[in-house]
Amino acid sequence: MSRHISTLNLHLEPADNRRLASLCGPFDDNIKQLERRLGVEISYRDNHFQLLGKQAQIDAAAVILKHLYVETQPIKGGKVTDITPDMVHLTVQESRVLEQDEEEASSLPYGKEVTVKTKRGLIKPRSPNQAQYIANIVRHDISFGIGPAGTGKTYLAVAAAVDALERQEIRRILLTRPAVEAGEKLGFLPGDLSQKVDPYLRPLYDALFEMLGFERVEKLMERNIIEVAPLAYMRGRTLNDAFIILDEAQNTTTEQMKMFLTRIGFNSKAVVTGDITQVDLPRSTKSGLRHALEVLQGVDGLSFNFFESKDVVRHPVVARIVQAYEAFDAKQAEATAAKPNRVNSTEANSTQESAK
């Protein structure tokens, strides 16, 4: 067993107690998180670190520690940048050695990465699936991003739209969602129609504010360069020179999905995002996103990107929750598939008894 365990000594330069304290976190919380996520043991004294574990894991841990230490470099005024648990989680998520060997990971086509500078730094893919998603958005006129919550589907789509606007590849950004109630009726909410639907569009506003800042988004919206609207407002329009994002597409009807996809004009791109496991439509209504997956496979100019629980970039527990739901749904599907067989075997036995 011991022959599979390796040791790696790491020296972080230059030695700076403030930066080291930021790297390790309060009560070594950041180090403990790395140990849990990577399955390694990390001990340190001053700027000398010793890593113990399997070779692939300690190599990954060393790369992450070096990267995070660089991030602690003092900013204006000499203040050291704080390393937060979120930063540790996202950096670990980027380390593809957790999911596959280096040879397989290096062969994945990362394509053209979106690098939009925001208050949180550069936005870039955190996993091979996210990288493929960005590459497909660049190469295709219409792209579908399908998967569980927290996989960056909407956030990366908004980043790609902002990037295209900054490069002057398009003249406007249009963000839309179906205003489907999830337990509340629109008629009982206070305010006019705009105030009623704004809560449904809040995630799109939040992404824009983070990437461009509140004041600039407000100015661009005043000039109609950025438009955020319910899906119902798209009917009858033709959108040229635009980047259009349809979020929460699992809550569209088949008619709404067809209407949206036929709004695309010249020099426009569209991204459709959704999670087909979280449909809020009435039981008798088929999801437009599910229907589109059946109808549009093989159509030129379209791409379909499927995210998994391993692509979740929120709190690690979110990925485990998604996996638990997936496992439960799989068991339910197996049980449902087995029921007709039991019924048929019972009927066959009854027929045989009658024949006797």
* Tens digits of residue pLDDT in 3-54: 578 889 999 988 899 999 999 999 898 998 888 878 889 999 989 999 998 8
131-156, pLDDT tens digit by residue?
A: 888 888 988 889 999 988 888 888 88
* Beta strand spans in 46-128 (E): 48-53, 116-118, 121-123
Q: What does the alpha-carbon distance between residue 331 and residue 156 come to, in Å, rounded to a whole number?
A: 32
Angle at 225 between CA 223 and CA 230, to 5 degrees: 105
Buried b (16+ CB within 10 A) or exposed e, 126-152: bbbbbbbbbbbbbebebbbbbbbebbb
Q: What does the alpha-carbon distance between residue 200 and residue 179 come to, in Å, rounded to a whole number?
A: 6
Q: In angstroms, how far is CA 226 from the centroid of its own chain?
A: 22
Q: Give the pLDDT score at 180.
A: 63
Q: What is the pTM of this model?
A: 0.62
Quote the CATH superfamily of domain 110-318. Answer: P-loop containing nucleotide triphosphate hydrolases (3.40.50.300)
More confident residue, 181 or 204: 204
Q: Give the pLDDT score at 105.
A: 40
Q: Give the pLDDT score at 109.
A: 43
Q: Give the pLDDT score at 24.
A: 92
**pLDDT average, residue stretch 64-80:** 85
- Parallel, antiparallel, or unpaired for β 269-274 and 242-246? parallel
Q: Is the pLDDT of residue 229 over 70?
A: yes
The mean pLDDT of the chain is: 79
- The residues, any chain, with a CB within 8 Å of residue 159's CB and separated by 6 or more, are 114, 116, 123, 207, 211
3-state secondary structure (DSSP) of residue 107: coil
Contacts 24+ apart (CB under 8 A), 260-265: 260/176, 260/231, 260/234, 261/142, 261/292, 263/234, 263/237, 263/238, 263/239, 264/141, 264/142, 264/239, 265/238, 265/239, 265/240, 265/241
Query: Max CA-CA distance within the chain?
Result: 94
Q: Into which CATH architecture does domain 2-98 fall? A: 2-Layer Sandwich (3.30)
More confident residue, 355 or 339: 339
Q: Where in the chain is the domain with CATH 3.40.50.300?
A: 110-318
**pLDDT average, residue stretch 326-343:** 71
**pLDDT average, residue stretch 284-313:** 86
Q: Give the pLDDT score at 267.
A: 84
Lowest mean pLDDT among 201-215, 306-320, 324-338: 306-320
Q: Is the pLDDT of residue 173 over 90?
A: yes
Q: Give the pLDDT score at 291.
A: 92
Q: What does the alpha-carbon distance between residue 258 and residue 253 come to, in Å, rounded to a whole number?
A: 9
Q: What percent of the chain has pLDDT over 90?
A: 23
Q: Give the pLDDT score at 2.
A: 44
Least Cα distance to 114 among 169, 164, 171, 175 occurs for: 164
Q: Give the pLDDT score at 12.
A: 92
Q: What does the alpha-carbon distance between residue 193 and residue 218 come to, in Å, rounded to a whole number?
A: 20
**pLDDT average, residue stretch 185-206:** 64
* Token pair listed for 275: 């999670």
- The residues, any chain, with a CB within 8 Å of residue 67's CB and separated by 6 or more, are 91
Q: Are 279 and 250 in contact (CB under 8 A)?
A: yes
Q: Is the pLDDT of residue 104 over 80?
A: no
Q: Give the pLDDT score at 344.
A: 53
Q: Is the pLDDT of residue 111 over 50?
A: no
Q: Where in the chain is the domain with CATH 3.30.1370.10?
A: 2-98
Look up tokens 């380390």; give the residue: 95
3-state secondary structure (DSSP) of residue 231: helix
**pLDDT average, residue stretch 54-83:** 86
Q: Give the pLDDT score at 319.
A: 62
**DSSP summary character for residue 182:** S
Q: Is the pLDDT of residue 61 over 60?
A: yes
Least Cα distance to 136 among 228, 259, 273 occurs for: 273
Q: What does the alpha-carbon distance between residue 129 and residue 109 come to, in Å, rounded to a whole number?
A: 10
